[in-house]
Structures are given as C-alpha cells and as structure tokens.
Amino acid sequence: MKGNVHLYTGNGKGKTTAAIGLAIRAAGAGMKVFIAQFIKGRHYNELSALEKFEGQIVIKQYGRDCFIKNEPEEADRMAARRGFDEVEKIVMEGAYDMVVLDEINIALYYELVDISEVAMMIKKRPEHVELVLTGRYAPQSLIDLSDLVTNMDEIKHYYHNGIEARPGIEY
Amino acid sequence: MKGNVHLYTGNGKGKTTAAIGLAIRAAGAGMKVFIAQFIKGRHYNELSALEKFEGQIVIKQYGRDCFIKNEPEEADRMAARRGFDEVEKIVMEGAYDMVVLDEINIALYYELVDISEVAMMIKKRPEHVELVLTGRYAPQSLIDLSDLVTNMDEIKHYYHNGIEARPGIEY
C-alpha cells in the first residue's frame, strides 16, 4: 500500500490533535507509528494516553518549549537538528508505517531545519511510509509536495475571551 | 473548571480525527469522555484503538453509514433521533467531562436532528461539560453558540487522484 503525505496547517486548533487521532486510528489497524514532536518539550497529556500503545506508537520530543515568543537559541537549533536527523533515519528505515512530524512547519519557519532536507526525505522515503506534517506557516513548497493538505482556519477561539490553556484540552 | 463548546467543520480531512485526538488527550488527563457518532455505523479502526481506554472513553454509533449519497430514510431518522435523545441525557447528567457529537452537523443538515434541541442542550448543560461538535455544513447558529470554531479547509486531497479510503488512515 502506497503511503501518502498529509499536511495540517493554519492558525486554528486541531492540527496536532488530528495527527494524534490519525496515529490512534493507524494503531487500531495494527500499524506502527512514530511521532516526533519538534519545538515541544513539555509533558502533554496525550503522552500519558499514548503509553497505552506501547510497542505500537512511539512518541519523542525534540524541543525545549520555550522560544515561541522569543527568538530561537542555539540549544533550540541543536534540539531540532538532532530531531530531524533521528526522524529522517526512522523514515528511511521504513520500520514505522506512519511517521508524524509534529510542528515541523514551525521548525522550518524559524529555519531550525532546512526545507531541502525535508523535501529530500519525502521524495526518497520507502513507498509504504505515510507521513503526517503539522504546524502553522507551511511553506508553499511543502504544500506542493504533499498529497493531502488541510488548512485549519481559526473562526473563533476562546483564548480571545481570556480563557487559558487547560490540562486535558490544550495539553 | 468551565467547559467550552468546540466546533470542527469544513470540507477538509481532520475533523473526526481532531475529536479523537481531543478525547485521547482528555483521557490522558483523567477525564471521562463519551463519543457519539451520528450517521456512522461501520467499524472504524479508531473503535478498536479506543478499547484500550475502557472505563474512560465510551464510543457509540447512531447511524447506518449508508445514506450519505442518497436521501436519508426513516431508519436513519430513527437512529439519529434515538442517538440524540441518549446523548442529551448523558450531557445533562454530567457524568462525562467531555462529550463528542461526531457528525452532528450532518445530522442537522439532513434535518435528522433539530437545531433548537441542540441549542437547548448546549445552553442548559452542566457547566463543567466540554462539548465537541464535528461535521461539515455547520449552521451559523451553531457557530454562534460555540466557543471555539475551526474550519478545516481542503486545499488538496488525494481522493482526487483516485486514491480510495484506506484502513488505518481514513477509517
């Protein structure tokens, strides 16, 4: 079965949650899934939940969760660099049927990872590997390389009403 | 903690998967989740995966999965009707912290369920209950009643390249 490239972008809520949902569905069908979270480096509640899928879903973080409102530092670059090298190897080996690169678009936007390397990985991957890319600010070249692209558009968000991120809902 | 109303609509892939992802995250935080799937009545792979969360996530289907390309029949109406009555009761009892009404927008679009009843349920529910509504064609009145609305916009879909729905990816 040929794998496709999914891209979930836009400023609305639902990108990472959709990727988690895809991972769960794939696991339900007996597929093996690797989830790489770029930028993020904090304990999210999905991590606890995904522990139930030990041996089927592996999740790893390659970020420090702290630069988003500032400029990335050298440590952020190194974390993303190490992350991409690891994920690229995992994709190429083909042992996982689905590989999620969560927030890869943010890593690209801040130039922590190079678009030409991501493009190369997409093109050269084993044919059966399904890729799921997320994050706002997807570059046009990545849209061109993807088979399925959904733009999650924020129509309304309760953040604007002063409601803060809540455990179990946002993380 | 006050619950909010999420609405995921639009013609792009990611609505149900985002709801499943939200359910998983909520379960990871110890919340109890009820997922009602309207219209759908087929075995989706997420059902197998969610069995791992027995006692925390309950999923139930109230559809026959067959009318989408035709007109709904009496049996579809009855299934949706029974579904909404059950879900309304579950929401009002407040025993579940999150209740997902998957494809409720489609049920509304085909007038299997009445918008005034959904509006009433939203307004009168126990304050802590988080609601997650999905499906394309969300009516404006539901957008108005929701706290968070994401429109999932299809930019590209591999269906258009003749690729059919695949187990583990679409269902």
How much is the pLDDT for A68? 67
Which of the residues A7, A22, A37 would you substitute to probe the B interface, choosing the one with the greatest number of B C-beta atoms within 10 Å?
A: A22
Which residue in B13, B19, B168 is closest to A31 by CB distance?
B168
- Whether B66 shows a pLDDT value over 80: the answer reads no
**pLDDT tens digits, one per residue of B32-41:** 999 999 999 8
> ipTM of this predicted complex?
0.89
Cα A8 from Cα A22, distance rounded (Å): 12
Shortest alpha-carbon distance between residue B30 and chain A (Å):
8
| CB contact (8 A) between residue B49 and residue A53 | yes
How much is the pLDDT for A163? 85
Which residue in A27, A28, A150 is closest to B14 by CB distance?
A150
Number of residues that this document lists for chain A: 171
* Per-residue three-class SS string for chain B: CCCCEEEEECCCCCHHHHHHHHHHHHHHCCCCEEEEEEECCCCCHHHHHHHHHCCCEEEEEEECCCCCCCCCCHHHHHHHHHHHHHHHHHHHHCCCCEEEEECHHHHHHCCCCCHHHHHHHHHHCCCCCEEEEECCCCCHHHHHHCCEEEEEEEEECHHHHCCCCCCCCCC
Query: What's the predicted TM-score (pTM) here?
Result: 0.93
Spans in chain A with pLDDT lower than 70: 68-69
Residues 74-113 of A with CB under 8 A from B: 97-98
**pLDDT tens digits, one per residue of B76-113:** 999 999 999 999 999 999 999 999 999 999 999 999 99
**B58 touches A at CB < 8 Å:** no
How much is the pLDDT for B112? 95
Shortest alpha-carbon distance between residue B74 and chain A (Å):
31
